[in-house]
């Protein structure tokens, strides 16, 4: 049996070739055009001498070139290594070396840092530059133009006979503990995850999807790119999120599907002129990446007349592992139920399975979505995946209906005077404060308690409060050992490329 992830694009291109696949500004690519360019890019990689099993790194924002290179590499049977476009030269060099990538495809706007890294990594032989002007076939010395590569190549028309368990994509984790590790995801991992999103969770409809989540990130890649293409939908690309631009695109293109992280929902919810835009076309909204504050979800549902569904997953799980579902009432604050074919269980600190409802434990995941392992990390794999169970590092609880709730990251848990304090619980209280727009809670060293609870907050426009006011508010809603003793006020909290608040920077 063979399986190749490019089947997602190939099948829709065969059944509906003229349907719009990608929209960016004034450019629209049909499925036939997108598929043809991917086949030619695969032929271009083969012409460069890149062969089956060699890795191709992509450093591309939300532009059509990402999707072309992504599926084109699969036509060459070359696993893809998506990289964050904001990496520094040192970080790019590390990823190229660690992943054994033989080629790097980079957007022209990030060329300078990429070139510095490329010149330092002798095992990476090919630098391919993608440009906004598709007619420009020039490239800097020692590099190849992506346009020229596609234009001068014969298309690969037959999908290579990759196996379901062959590596398709290596996704690097954020590296909150130690250096980033590459999660090896297979053709089957990713194909079935996309199939679930398109046919089961979203009902197989041809959505018009606003893609503002980075395509190099697992959420944007599987849910918005692969899931949309699987269902024959249209991707409206947004290279950089801002609330006014997003609302404008929703209204202009009659977007039916929006996916985002909680900070994006918050920005849309509180954009002061949102009523100018007709967003009645929105039918489905999904949230992931980090926990959605319950107050934000409820307010967004009411304002935009939608039903935001929250899910959960990690790069290591392709990423979707659980979701609230369209065919049954959701539970606000819950990550839902494990998706079909996936099992969850909770383990305590001694590795024993937690059977009682409401008792916290580390979420462990088993199923078709779990990665092969971390690339070249056998010692880490031995403890990360035990008897098929992937240890997520997230602490959760389960209710009587089988719904799971994230308590916090295992490593984010604060131990104050012997009591376990979960930052998410405190953050929920902070987000309910009328003045607070962003909040994060961390542990800081304390001489007698071991750790103390500290909150870092940013206010909504035009709002303010004193640290004392915020502490007093938390004391009303939290047990004495939980409320923050320190509050720091900032203009904004640091965020990653998906809009997720970066607690590691706050700790540093």
Residue 458: which CATH number? 3.30.300.30
pLDDT for the residue numbered 177: 47
pLDDT for the residue numbered 176: 44
Can you tell me the distance from the alpha carbon of 288 to that of 319, in angstroms, rounded to the nearest whole number? 10
Max CA pair span of the chain: 70
Residue 162 maps to a domain: yes
pLDDT for the residue numbered 126: 98
Classified as helix, coil or strand, 244 is: helix
pTM for the predicted model, two decimal places: 0.87
Residues 78 and 139 both lie in one domain: yes
Residues 57 and 131 both lie in one domain: yes
Burial (0-12, 13-18, 19+ Cβ within 10 Å), 253: middle
Quick count: other Cβ atoms within 10 Å of Cβ 71? 27
Residue 441 maps to a domain: yes
Residues 155 and 84 both lie in one domain: yes
Tell me which residue of 420, 437, 402, 416 sits closest to 486, measured CA to CA. 416
Residue 290 maps to a domain: yes
Residues 158 and 58 both lie in one domain: yes
Residue 156: which CATH number? 3.40.50.980
Quick count: other Cβ atoms within 10 Å of Cβ 406? 22
Residues 368 and 417 both lie in one domain: no
Residues 70 and 177 both lie in one domain: yes
Residues 437 and 398 both lie in one domain: no
Residues 362 and 447 both lie in one domain: no
Can you tell me the distance from the alpha carbon of 196 to that of 445, in angstroms, rounded to the nearest whole number? 44
Residue ending a domain, choose from 409, 426, 443? 409
Residue 49 maps to a domain: yes
Residue ending a domain, choose from 187, 219, 238? 187
Q: Report yes or no: 322 and 311 within 8 Å, Cβ to Cβ.
A: yes
Range of the domain at 488: 413-507
Residues 41 and 101 both lie in one domain: yes
Residue 215 maps to a domain: no
Can you tell me the distance from the alpha carbon of 164 to that of 7, in angstroms, rounded to the nearest whole number? 12
Residues 39 and 181 both lie in one domain: yes
Residue 81 maps to a domain: yes
Query: What contacts 283, CB < 8 A, 6 or more positions away?
Result: 207, 256, 257, 306
Sequence-ordered alpha helix ranges (H) in 418-461: 423-431
Query: What contacts 6, CB < 8 A, 6 or more positions away?
Result: 38, 71, 74, 75, 159
Sequence-ordered alpha helix ranges (H) in 262-385: 262-269, 294-304, 378-384
Residues 310 and 379 both lie in one domain: yes
Average pLDDT of adjacent 10-residue blocks, the chain of 508 residues: 97 97 97 98 98 98 98 98 91 96 98 97 98 88 96 97 98 70 97 93 88 95 97 96 97 97 91 96 92 90 97 96 93 95 96 96 97 96 96 95 89 78 88 94 84 94 95 90 94 88 87
Return the structure tokens found at 9.
């694009």
Residue ending a domain, choose from 377, 394, 409? 409
396 φ, ψ to 5°?
Answer: -140, 175
Return the structure tokens found at 285.
């909204």
Question: How many domains are there within the chain?
Answer: 3
Residues 479 and 437 both lie in one domain: yes
């Amino acid at each position: 049996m063979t399986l190749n992830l490019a089947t997602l694009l190939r099948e829709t291109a065969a059944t509906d070739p003229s349907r719009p696949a990608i929209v960016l500004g004034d450019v629209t690519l049909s499925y036939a055009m997108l598929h043809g360019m991917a086949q030619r890019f695969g032929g271009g990689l083969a012409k460069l001498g890149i062969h089956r099993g060699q890795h191709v790194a992509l450093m591309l924002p939300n532009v059509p070139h990402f999707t072309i290179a992504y599926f084109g590499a699969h036509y060459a049977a070359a696993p893809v290594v998506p990289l964050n476009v904001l990496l520094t030269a040192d970080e790019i060099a590390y990823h190229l070396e660690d992943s054994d990538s033989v080629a790097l495809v980079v957007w022209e706007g990030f060329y300078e840092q990429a070139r510095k890294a490329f010149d330092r990594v002798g095992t990476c032989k090919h630098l391919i530059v993608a440009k906004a002007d598709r007619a420009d076939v020039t490239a800097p010395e020692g590099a190849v133009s992506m346009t020229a590569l596609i234009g001068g190549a014969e298309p690969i028309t037959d999908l290579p006979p990759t196996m379901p368990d062959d590596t398709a994509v290596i996704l690097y984790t954020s590296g909150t503990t130690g250096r980033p590790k590459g999660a090896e995801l297979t053709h089957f991992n990713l194909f079935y995850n996309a199939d679930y999103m398109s046919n089961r969770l979203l009902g197989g409809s041809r959505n018009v999807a606003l893609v503002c989540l980075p395509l190099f990130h697992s959420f944007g890649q599987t849910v918005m790119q692969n899931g949309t293409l699987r269902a024959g939908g249209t991707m409206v690309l947004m290279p950089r999120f801002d609330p006014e631009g997003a609302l404008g695109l929703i209204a202009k293109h009659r977007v039916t599907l929006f996916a985002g992280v909680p900070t994006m929902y918050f920005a849309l919810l509180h954009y002061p002129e949102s009523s100018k835009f007709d967003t009645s076309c929105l039918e489905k909204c999904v949230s992931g990446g980090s926990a959605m504050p319950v107050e934000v979800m409820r307010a967004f549902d009411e304002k935009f007349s939608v039903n935001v569904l929250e899910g959960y997953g990690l790069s290591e799980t392709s990423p979707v592992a659980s979701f609230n579902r369209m065919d049954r009432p959701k539970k606000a604050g819950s990550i839902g139920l494990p998706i079909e074919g996936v099992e969850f269980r909770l383990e305590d600190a001694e590795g024993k399975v937690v059977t009682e409802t409401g008792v916290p434990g580390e979420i462990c995941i088993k199923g078709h979505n779990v990665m092969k392992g971390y690339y070249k990390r056998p010692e880490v794999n031995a403890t990360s995946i035990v008897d098929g169970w992937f240890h997520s590092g997230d602490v959760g609880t389960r209710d009587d209906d089988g719904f799971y709730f994230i308590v916090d990251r295992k490593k984010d848990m604060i131990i104050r005077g012997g009591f376990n304090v979960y930052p998410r619980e405190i953050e929920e209280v902070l987000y309910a404060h009328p003045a607070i727009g962003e909040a994060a809670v961390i542990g800081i060293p304390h001489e007698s308690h071991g750790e103390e609870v500290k909150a870092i907050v940013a206010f909504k426009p035009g709002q303010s409060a004193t640290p004392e006011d915020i502490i007093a508010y938390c004391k009303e809603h939290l047990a004495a050992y939980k409320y923050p003793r320190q509050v720091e006020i900032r203009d904004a909290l640091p965020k990653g490329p998906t809009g997720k608040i970066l607690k590691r920077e706050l700790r540093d």
